[in-house]
Every structure is written in C-alpha cells, then in structure tokens.
Structure 1
Amino acid sequence: MSPYPKLMEPLQLRAATLRNRIVMGAMHTRLETLDRANERLAAFYGVRARGEVGLVLTGGYAPNPDGIFEPGAPAFYDSSRMDEHRAIVGAVHDGGAKIALQIVHTGRYAKHDRCVGASTLRSRINPIGPRAMTTEEVWRTVSDFAATAALAREAGYDGVEIMGSEGYLINQFTAPFTNQREDEFGGSLENRVRFPVEIVKAVREKAGDDFLLIYRISAVDLVEGGMPGDEVQELARRVEAAGADLFNTGIGWHESAIPTIAAAVPRAAWSYAVRNVKEAVSIPVIASNRINTPEVAEDIIETGVADLVSMARPLLADPDFARKARLGRADEINTCIACNQACLDRIFTERTATCLVNPRAGREIEFADAPALSPKRIAVVGGGPAGMAFAVNAAERGHQVTLYEAASELGGQLNMARAVPGKSEFNEMLRYFRTRLTALAVELRLGHAVEAEELGRENFDEIVVATGVRPRRPDIAGLDHPKVLSYVDVLSRKVPVGRRVAIIGAGGIGFDVAEYLVGQDSEALVPEAFLSTWGADAELRSAGGLTEPAGDRPPPRELFMFQRKPEALGRRLGKSTGWILKTKLRRAHVAMIAGAEYRAVDDAGLHYVADGMPHVLDVDHVILCAGQESERTLYDRLVSLGASVRLIGGADVAAELDALRAIDQATHLAVAI
C-alpha cells in the first residue's frame, strides 16, 4: 500500500477515471517554436503520463486569433493541426493518463496588434494597450471557446480546461478594476460573471455530457480591485451550475505584487484560498501552487482543502513523481526547488522551458539514455552540482564511478546557497543526489583532496574535473585588512558579521549575501508569516484578497551594496524572482550605490568614489562578492602530465554560482561518454 493513500485514490469524473489525484498542471513551454515540435510535445507529455500522473493539462491554446499570447503561439480554432493533437493525446493515453486541452484567451496580456480586453485599461506588464471588445465580439468569443472544445473532443482529448484565472481575458471580465463595461457583461457581479458562465454553458452544450469540463478559477486575484472571497464563491457556484465537472485553482495575476510560486513562497501557502472555493461547491477542486512533495499533497487532500493537487514545475523536475510516490520511494523524487531559472525565467525571456534539476525536461527526444556499450571506470573530482549530476547520470548508464570531494560533505557551493533565507529547497536537491549516489553504488571519497598523481595511478578510463570556482579578489588596496571577508566566509558561517556592512558586488551572490544578512527564514517557511509580510488577506474579505503588509521590521544590520556599473542594482537577476529579492531588501532599508570606484579598505572603513566625489564609509566589515574564477589547479596539473581529462561546471566557466549551466553540461557529458 502506498504511504499516500488519499493521493493515490482513483477518481471518477463523467466518462473518465483518473488513476490518482495528481494533475500535471498546464504550463507554457514554447516547445511549439522548435523543430520537430509535434514529436517534442508528444514526448514531453507522454513521459509524464508514463510516470503515472492521473490527468495531464496541456499548455494553453487560443480559441481565436485575438487570443494568442504572441505571434506563433499555440491556437486551436480549425482542424488543420488535428494530427498533431492526436499524437499528443495518443502518447498520453498510451501512458495510462487522461488529458484535457487548456483553452486560454490572453486578453490584454497579448503581445500583438490585435490585443483586446474587457476594457481599454492596459496591463502594467504589457506595453500594448487593448481595444475594448464589443458586445458582439464577447458573444462570438463564447462561441469560439465552445468550437475549440468540440475540436478537442474530435482530437481525442478527454476534456478541456477553461482558463479563468491568472489575469487572462475571463479574469479581466470578473474583476471589477479591469471590467469598466456598461453592457450586459459589466457592472454588477451577475454581469461580470456572465462571460465565464456562458462559456461553460456553451462548451457543455457543444462538447456533450460525457466530456470533462474543468474551470480554472482565480481563487484569489492578489490585485487591487480584484474579487473578494465571497464573490469568488458565488462565481464558483454559478460555474458549477452551468456544467463544470471540476475546479482548478489559480493564484494571483501575472502582474500581482505578491509572489505566488517562487521559493520565497512557503509550501501550500495558498490553501486558505483553495479551501474557500472548496467550501462553496459540491464538485471536486484541485489545489495548486507550491506543492512539491507527496507529503504536502497528501496533507492537502486528507485535511479537506482540495480533492486533487496540480503540479506543473514539480513534473518538469521529475516526470516519475507519481510512480515514485505510489511505490513509497519519495526520497528518490527529484524535487522542484522553485528557482524558476530554467522554466519561468526562460519563458519570460522568449526561450523554451526546461528545468535546472532535470535538463531532460522539454528535451526528451534529445536524450537517448541508452546503457553504455562499453562501461568505463570514471573518476569525478568535485562534489558540487556538476560533479554530482555527472556521477549520477554516468552511473545510471552503467559506468563505474568514483567521486572525490575535498570537503567532508557533498554539495559544494550549494551548501552556501541553502543557507540563504528562501533557498531551503536546495536541501531537497542535495537529498536527491545523495540518495541516487548511494543507490547507484557510486564510490564516495569525501574529505579527500585527490592529487593528479594519485588519479594517474588508479588508471581510470576517464577523468572529469568539476572543482568549481574560487572567489575573485578585485584590485583594491587593503584586502588583507581584518574588516574584509569573502562571501564564502559569510555563507559558510565561518565568521561573525558586524552590524554595519558593505557588500562589494551586486550580482546574484551579492544579493544572496544581503538576503542572508537581513532576511528571515520564516517568511519562506511559515505561511502566516509570508502572508502577513506581503499583505495577503487570509480571510479573503477584501477586494483582490489584499491587506496592508506588516510594517517594516528593524533590520538586524545596516547594509550598503555597491557595484561598478552605473545602472540600477539587480537588473540581471532572474526575471521572475529578482523583483521579490529587491523588494525584500528595499523593505530592510538596504542602501544601493551604483557607479562606485573602490579605492581602499582600512581602519576607517571602505574608501570609494561615487558621482565624482570621494567617500569613506565606516563599516564593521566589507564583504567581497566580486565574481569568481575557475578553480583549475588540478586540471592544469593533469594536462601537464598528459592525462585525458574533461572539464565541467564552474571549473569550465565561472559565471556566478550557475548550477543551471553546471547540471546541464554535466548531464550532456554523462550521456555522451
């Protein structure tokens, strides 16, 4: 019996029987923009179906040309691409799962010249302003949703999901602040919910009674002028009466000033909003957002918050999540760490999505993963993300791997990253790698700073060097002064840090150090603390579910961040997470100085020039976060001895603490050897 009986319980929905309560949530991938797109999409969904999810939701398809997100984005309003959809459906059905097509009209989020909306109010995240839809166009769009649902049925889908959340078109009609209409679709609550209700009615009539109809409802808008909780409940009741079989819950709009899915959000933080929907209806409800372990998912169902759980990014990280949970092997799940670096950040910068912890995601057809024809003895030096990823992937193919690590524990610079508030999910990455290395019988030699000559005596077939990086020391007078520390000293907790601190360097490491020095773990671990800090109304009484954020707490330190470039600090942080970190530091009153020239550190403090004026900042410590250099001492020695050696990770390219690049490179090399 599975340790997660509620999660693994089957569910009957009209003609569809779901084998468990795990739903693969819809997500944008941009896979449709690549060559062999159909094959890629079928493989992408198919591998997750074989991983035993109960229901797959596709990425969003527009029901008409106005509704696409951008030119070339997915749409399904004629039968010209029917074969492509049938291939996707076939791959999922062959894997034993059910599949529903998500239908989404992006409304004022559309990045093209046909952008339309409930009103002419432009979104702050889109430079293109919408044209207000006429009443006739609204009714025509209702018919377009129904027509796409009929096409989905013809293609073999088990159902559709109507996207009514995240600030897309339907949500723009339901929220008072974006609905400034004076016709039958605007004004009163009854008028504002008419659009989604009529869509559900039309879809049910067009697609038939045995077709699964899911409505994704905005459980909490998290924008000023959004719906309060009682209006969300009334919308849910009316959509249920119109013919919906299942509610999926969305959290927040894309333009919300409150994080919703990043690692800064505690697990299951939005349960209160999901429960609000559940209490209003009699049909099943799906919980979503920041659910990344079977334990959390089981608790959500067992406590009555919801009947199913939706996981999108966790199934990028591990397509076999459901199967491992069923078998009681949760320790082998490659857990989503909610970093957003390879998924959302890539989507928001017009690239295809993949996953930091699983580079195969979205690239399934590029990895054959066949057993090695000639297994080799391979030495890997360095137990950071690159070394561990290579060792696991090489051992999975049958190679005999020995992993050397000079420190007494695995992890490398991950051990520093996981010390930062909001990055505790890195513990899951380390747990996964340790579990797999043990299961694959990789020989671990920890606390062993191996020498080139020793490696030579072992007669390995391959040597892979993943020795990482070392902090770069900038050319500043006085770096040997006792006030000067490196980020390694700080994040490794080797030394105490004073109350007035200057941070030199404002890249990702500089911001991590700042967060470490002034942040609080509770904000990313305790839902109540998170909601209070960011101003989310857990009672859902206010418009949009917002309330006043907790007042700024006195920071434990006075921080000053410096960078040489004369531009705003943090411009190169992650697209979907950088604003969160900058907001937190601003609330902690961290001073940020751009265009600085560093002159010296001495007893008086940090000497620098800004805006042409010399300054002396009296501080207790100056922390160097001025970049890294590749650590290649061992590599250079091996090359000098004539050894054949491969170089991966930071030892190859020292760019920030780039676990994304390191794991990707290591995985590709392991598959190639």
Structure 2
Amino acid sequence: MATHDRYPLMFSPLDLGFTRLKNRVLMGSMHTGLEDIEGGFERMAAFFAERARGGVGMIITGGIAPNHEGGGGAKLSTPQEAAQHRIVTEAVHAADPDVKIVMQILHAGPLAGTPACVAPSAVRSRIGRFVPNELDADGIEKQLADFANCASLARAAGYDGVEIIGSAGYLLSTFLVEKTNTRTDEWGGSFENRMRFPVEVIRRARAAVGDDFILIFRIPAMDMLDGGMSGDEVIQLAKAVEAAGATIISTHFTWHEAQVPTIATMVPRAAFAEVTGRIRSHVTVPMITSNRINMPDVVEQVLAAGHADLVSMARPMLADADLVNKAYEGREDEINTCIACNQACLDHTFTGRLTSCLVNPRACNETLIVPQPTTRPRDLAVVGAGPAGLAFATEAAQRGHKVTLYDAAAEIGGQFNLARRVPGKEEFSETLRYFRRMIEKLGITLRLNTRVDADMLAAAGHDEVIVATGIRPRVPDVAGIDHPKAVGYIDAIMGRRDIGKRVAIMGAGGIGFDVATLITHAGPSAAMDIPTFCREWGVDFAGHPRGGVTGIAPQIEHAGREVTILQRRDGAPGRSLGKTTGWTHRLSLQRRGVKLLGGVTYLRIDDAGLHCLVNGEPRLFAVDTVIVCAGQEPERSLYDALIARGVPAQLVGGAQEAGELDAKRAIAEATALALAA
C-alpha cells in the first residue's frame, strides 16, 4: 500500500479541462515583501521553487497591483515588469513542471498606501491612511482596462493563471458593500449593480487571456462586517463570476478592518470550511477553502466533507516547504507545523518588514540561509531544551555534528511548555512534537532531568557548550514581594499555586495577557471548538446573516475572577502585543471584564492587597493574589562559570537577551549560530 493512500482525496488530481492540477493542495497567496525590494525577484524565485519541490499542486504569489493607484508597491503594468516576473515562473517550472504558478492581482483600493488610491465612493477605511478618490466613469473604465492588461502580461510572464482578489476591503469588495459604495449610477445601488464591477473585471480578464489560462476569483465568502454581504448575495456573486469566466472560485474570510479573528492561533482549525461548502453546492467550478488548515489530516477531512475541491495552505508553507511531500511519504510527524502565531509573517507584513516564519527562519531567506554539511564534525553540548536550544541542536545535528542536549526539566520545550497551556495557544504543542521527532531522527542524545554545572561539562569533554538556559523571571524591588499573596507567573501557569478570585497582574506584556487569559478562562477552548468560537466572537456560520456576524453580544464563559492588568508605562496596556493579534487579546479580555490600567507605580504588597500609585494617586487593589509578570533577566550563571573554567561556550536565545521572551529571535539566532558551527 502506498503511504499516500491515507490521504486519497488530498493526492487526487483535478482536471480543469485545459490543464490538470496534480493534487488538491495549493500554496495560498501571501505578501512577503520580497516583491518590493531590489533583488527580490531572485529571492522569490528561490522561495517559490523550494515550495514547488515540496509537493504542492499550485502556488499563488503575493499580491501584485495592476497600476500605481492599486498599491504603491510591486505592480505589473508593462512588458519590462513582466520580464522580472519571468525569473519566478521559470524557477518554479524548472523545479517541477507539473506545479502551476498563479499570480494574484491585488488592487488595494482604499487600503493602498498612496494618496492616489481609488474606490467607488470617497469613504475612508477605518484602517486606511487616505480618503480614496471616487472613481468617475473614465476612472472605472481605466481600472477595468488595467486589470485586463495585468492579466495579459501575467500570461506573457509565464504564469499559468491569475487570481483576482475581490475581498478583504480591497477595491473589488468595496463595490459590493453599501457602506463603501454609495453610488447611484449603474455601479451602485442594487446588489446586481454593486457586483457589476468585479464581474466585469473577470469578464475582461478572461477576454484578455483566452480560454486556456487559470482564472481564480477570491470571493468575500463572509466579510465579518455589520451590514456586510448576506449569504444569498455571496452565492449570487459566485454564480455571476462563474458565468463571467472564472476557472476556480477561492473563498476568503473577513475584511482587514473587521473585528473577528480568522487566522490567529485562537481560531479553530478549518473553522470556515463549511461556508465554502455551502457556496460550492451552488456552482459547478472547483472551489478553494482556506484559513487555519495546517496539517494533512485536516485537508483530508475538509475534502471528505465536501466542503471544497482544493485547500489553500499559505502560512503552513512558510513553516515547512516539504509539508506535502512529507504527507505523501507518511512522515507527518516530521512536519514543522504552522502554529498561527503571526509573529514573523503577518506582523511583519503589516509593519513593512520582510516576511519569514517563527518556526522556520529560512522562509523567504532561502538564498541567504543555506545549510551545508559540516567539514569538521564536533562534539557539541547544548544546555537548555527551550526554543533556542532545540533549534540549535537540530540544525547542528543535521549538519553532521554530534549533539548532546541537556535540560533540568522532565520534558523539552522551555517557555513553549508554558505557552501551550494557555487557552488559544494549543498549537504550540505541535512545535514540540516536531522537535521531539527531530531529536529521535537525528540521533541527538537527550538528557532530561539533568541539571548540569561547569565541572560536569568540563569533564564530559565536549568541544563546545551552547548555553541556551533561557531566562529567569525578574523579581521587582517592591516591598512585600515575598508575601504569600505574590505568585510568580510560572507557578501560576503551571498550576503550582492557588489563585484567588480577585487578582492583580503586575505587567502587561505578552506573559501578563497570557496569564489573564488562563485564569479567566472556563469551558472549552474556543481554539478547539467551533461552536464556542462562534459564541465568543458573534459569528453565525450556518445562518450567514449579513457579514456573517450576529449582532448579538458575544457570549463568553469565564471563571468569575475579577482581574486587573497593571503596567508602569502610561497609556493603554497591550500596545506591545503583535500587530495582527494584539487587538484580539485585548478585546477578548475586555469582554471577560478584565481591567487594564497604565501609569502604575507599585508600592507594596501586604495582607490588604497591592498598594500602588495610579497616575500619582494612591490606590489599594484589595486582591487575593498578585501575579508577578514583571519581565525577565538572562540566566547566564552557567555561561559565566564555563568561561571562568576556560571551557569554550556561546550564549544563544533568552540567555543572551531576555527581551519579551522572543521565541522568533531565539530560533533565528540559534539557527544562524548552528549553521556557522
């Protein structure tokens, strides 16, 4: 029996008539930032070629604007620009001629970062920089012509197709919704008129590229907006797009300005697939579903349920370029799973930095980070099996070094063992599963429950010691910090201390928010249960009211604790959280009644509670428990002892710089160090 038989639907080909997809998995569109830098097309070519070799059936690029007003970044509007794109298409087809490469045409409309941005009406987006310029009749004709021109040039550049994105608050979607389309001419008013522009874009594009070219329309299947599109309108649009010439319809969920998480780790796997399935029953063209589908068993389940014909896995291809091959070969336990943290991908995208991946720093850096077998194998000790130690150990072992990994704990993981216990962060367990398998596969000697010292390591005769001992929690200089009411965050997360009903949390960084989430949580985790997720975020997948949102106040089960998060800095706590996920954590805690206060000076902890100054005014927080999340300090005592003994040693991760327990930085630094070892 072939190993891929456990995923018969995932590995079945799809006949599109004029061409064929070799399987049902595609790499969805992500803007990496490589599109916008000098030399970026060469780096994109290496990035996409590696994913093509990894087994996907189709790749969709990041968004490319059809004109200047469509984005202000990478665009395709001239033959000269098309020549750059050929670098990418030729690399992908050379890597695997059976892999289709499709370019996404993205006209950002009111979200374009240029004063020249356009929209059907001069309605500024809640997250837009500019009020868009309202399109007149000539302007609409220009945009339609530019879409067709862009599609034609994509074909000339060697692409197998284009995807036109009609969702997310970008240009096409703003025609569809009444709040952003206030026109009274043939492009506004009734839904039939409002959908005229995106349908015409598809019709013009099909006329420009001919019949033997993949044309995908990314439909706003559920826009998560009050007053957004109804389920019936989405189906009406899907039918019209099919009639206009779309080869495939891809479902997209949410506008960027909507306040429902759709791709964060707190979202259940394949939560939105049933929405795709409902639309699929009304059209005959194949349909793509997406969002939080990160492992092959989930792909197979979605296809078996009839929810889609194809499954998009975008960020999972950042995490592991070989995901599809590993599934085909029965090596699922070796997949470096996307944990949907967003820290190195979307947080970078929306802050103008190049995309990469927390668990795979080689992503988008394939030409810069090139693993090579070592020419002088050494005996290396790694002390600390947290993210930095695990990353170094596996990379060094893959290069041919002999590696012994020590940790005083009974299991690997370090701070990831804390994170995975927080409701909404269950995916962090997947990273530890991956590293456990790599330790086994690579023959790394693992010594758990082993507290080493400099004498022991010196006697062991290792050539070098990599000190990845991480951090120790900072103990603030506050009177009464050793009072029984005071609890360290590690003890709180691990359940080693009882937590009272009234709680003050000292510190509003990521750990403080994680602790607040944990101690206020009750019932099933929304990340593991779709009905709970729907109740907590006011979403109705089955009924599909306008926008998919119920308009009913979110229903959140919580532990009944009174919790206040405090920070020393002035301003609203939580501003240091991730760009694309921080708002979800703040909003979720506020809905559980958690109070957030800045401008706090801690005075003392005593039997009465926590005494503070808040904006200079004395205040007593009469709490049962004070959880201390006051930052971290590097744990370097072993390193100092090794250096004193003359044992070669290097620091990496939190032991070098504690920061905000930055696993992204720790894994990236450890990978670089291992590749230089």
Fold match, TM over 0.5?
A: yes
CA distance in structure 2 between the partners assigned to 1:259 and 1:127 by the alignment: 22
- The 8 Å contact of residues 4 and 295 in structure 1, kept in 2 or not, is answered as yes
CA distance in structure 2 between the partners assigned to 1:554 and 1:464 by the alignment: 43
- The 8 Å contact of residues 14 and 212 in structure 1, kept in 2 or not, is answered as no
Shift of 1:549: 3.6
Shift of 1:554: 5.4
* Cα deviation code 1:420-448 (max 9, x no counterpart): 11000000000000011110000000100
Q: Match for residue 350 of structure 1?
A: 352
Which SS does the other structure have where 1:564 is aligned?
coil
- The 8 Å contact of residues 177 and 224 in structure 1, kept in 2 or not, is answered as no
1:653 aligns with 2:632: no
Q: Match for residue 265 of structure 1?
A: 267
CA distance in structure 2 between the partners assigned to 1:165 and 1:568 by the alignment: 32
Q: Match for residue 334 of structure 2?
A: 332
1:65 aligns with 2:68: yes
Shift of 1:197: 1.3
Q: Match for residue 246 of structure 1?
A: 248
**Alignment partner of 1:564 out of 551, 563, 568:** 568
Q: Match for residue 30 of structure 2?
A: 27
1:396 aligns with 2:398: yes
Q: Match for residue 94 of structure 2?
A: 94
CA distance in structure 2 between the partners assigned to 1:592 and 1:244 by the alignment: 49
**Alignment partner of 1:530 out of 533, 546, 549:** 533
CA distance in structure 2 between the partners assigned to 1:414 and 1:337 by the alignment: 12
1:668 aligns with 2:672: yes
Query: 5 Å matches for 1:139-154?
Result: 139-154=141-156
CA distance in structure 2 between the partners assigned to 1:601 and 1:258 by the alignment: 38
1:191 aligns with 2:193: yes
CA distance in structure 1 between the partners assigned to 2:340 and 2:51 by the alignment: 19
CA distance in structure 2 between the partners assigned to 1:587 and 1:144 by the alignment: 45
**Alignment partner of 1:616 out of 590, 598, 620:** 620
- The 8 Å contact of residues 135 and 183 in structure 1, kept in 2 or not, is answered as no
1:368 aligns with 2:370: yes
Shift of 1:454: 1.4
Amino acid at match of 1:411: G
5+ residue gaps, structure 1:
none
Q: Match for residue 605 of structure 1?
A: 609
**Alignment partner of 2:127 out of 119, 125, 128:** 125
Q: Match for residue 282 of structure 1?
A: 284
Q: Calculate the aligned-residue CA RMSD, in Å.
A: 1.1
Amino acid at match of 1:307: D
- The 8 Å contact of residues 538 and 555 in structure 2, kept in 1 or not, is answered as no
- The 8 Å contact of residues 517 and 557 in structure 1, kept in 2 or not, is answered as yes
CA distance in structure 2 between the partners assigned to 1:200 and 1:193 by the alignment: 11
5+ residue gaps, structure 2:
none
Shift of 1:28: 0.8
Q: Match for residue 44 of structure 1?
A: 47
Shift of 1:519: 2.6
Amino acid at match of 1:9: S
- The 8 Å contact of residues 36 and 74 in structure 2, kept in 1 or not, is answered as no
Q: Match for residue 219 of structure 2?
A: 217
Q: Match for residue 583 of structure 2?
A: 579
Q: Match for residue 204 of structure 2?
A: 202
CA distance in structure 2 between the partners assigned to 1:668 and 1:33 by the alignment: 25
Amino acid at match of 1:29: T
Q: Match for residue 490 of structure 2?
A: 488
- The 8 Å contact of residues 229 and 546 in structure 2, kept in 1 or not, is answered as yes
* Cα deviation code 1:356-375 (max 9, x no counterpart): 00000010001221100111
Q: Match for residue 452 of structure 1?
A: 454
1:6 aligns with 2:9: yes
- So what's the TM-score if we normalise by structure 1? 0.98
- The 8 Å contact of residues 507 and 631 in structure 2, kept in 1 or not, is answered as yes
Amino acid at match of 2:247: D
Shift of 1:175: 1.6
* Cα deviation code 1:6-61 (max 9, x no counterpart): 01111122332211111100111111333421210101111000101000001111
CA distance in structure 2 between the partners assigned to 1:459 and 1:274 by the alignment: 59
**Alignment partner of 2:554 out of 524, 543, 550:** 550
* Cα deviation code 1:440-489 (max 9, x no counterpart): 00000010011111111122122100000000000001111111110011
Shift of 1:327: 0.8
Which SS does the other structure have where 1:40 is aligned?
helix
* Cα deviation code 1:171-194 (max 9, x no counterpart): 111122211111111111211111
Which SS does the other structure have where 2:565 is aligned?
strand
Amino acid at match of 2:671: T
CA distance in structure 1 between the partners assigned to 2:112 and 2:212 by the alignment: 33
CA distance in structure 2 between the partners assigned to 1:600 and 1:48 by the alignment: 56
The range that moved more, 468-477 or 272-281, is: 272-281
Which SS does the other structure have where 2:639 is aligned?
helix
Q: Give the number of aligned pairs.
A: 670
CA distance in structure 2 between the partners assigned to 1:114 and 1:124 by the alignment: 18
Mark the CA change 1:342 to 1:541 in structure 2 (over 3 Å): closer, same or farther.
Answer: closer
- The 8 Å contact of residues 402 and 444 in structure 2, kept in 1 or not, is answered as yes
Q: Match for residue 77 of structure 1?
A: 77
Query: 5 Å matches for 1:398-437?
Result: 398-437=400-439
Amino acid at match of 1:92: V
- The 8 Å contact of residues 535 and 555 in structure 2, kept in 1 or not, is answered as no
CA distance in structure 1 between the partners assigned to 2:564 and 2:660 by the alignment: 20
Which SS does the other structure have where 2:46 is aligned?
helix
The range that moved more, 194-203 or 392-401, is: 194-203
Amino acid at match of 1:134: D
- The 8 Å contact of residues 536 and 549 in structure 1, kept in 2 or not, is answered as no
* Cα deviation code 1:76-112 (max 9, x no counterpart): 0111123321110011112221111111111011111
CA distance in structure 1 between the partners assigned to 2:227 and 2:109 by the alignment: 18
- The 8 Å contact of residues 402 and 442 in structure 1, kept in 2 or not, is answered as yes
Amino acid at match of 2:542: E
- The 8 Å contact of residues 480 and 605 in structure 2, kept in 1 or not, is answered as yes
- The 8 Å contact of residues 505 and 566 in structure 2, kept in 1 or not, is answered as yes
Amino acid at match of 1:57: I
* Cα deviation code 1:322-375 (max 9, x no counterpart): 101111111110000000000111111111110000000010001221100111
Amino acid at match of 2:83: D
Which SS does the other structure have where 2:505 is aligned?
strand
Shift of 1:259: 0.5
Amino acid at match of 2:575: R
**Alignment partner of 2:183 out of 181, 184, 192:** 181
CA distance in structure 2 between the partners assigned to 1:48 and 1:456 by the alignment: 43
- So what's the TM-score if we normalise by structure 2? 0.98
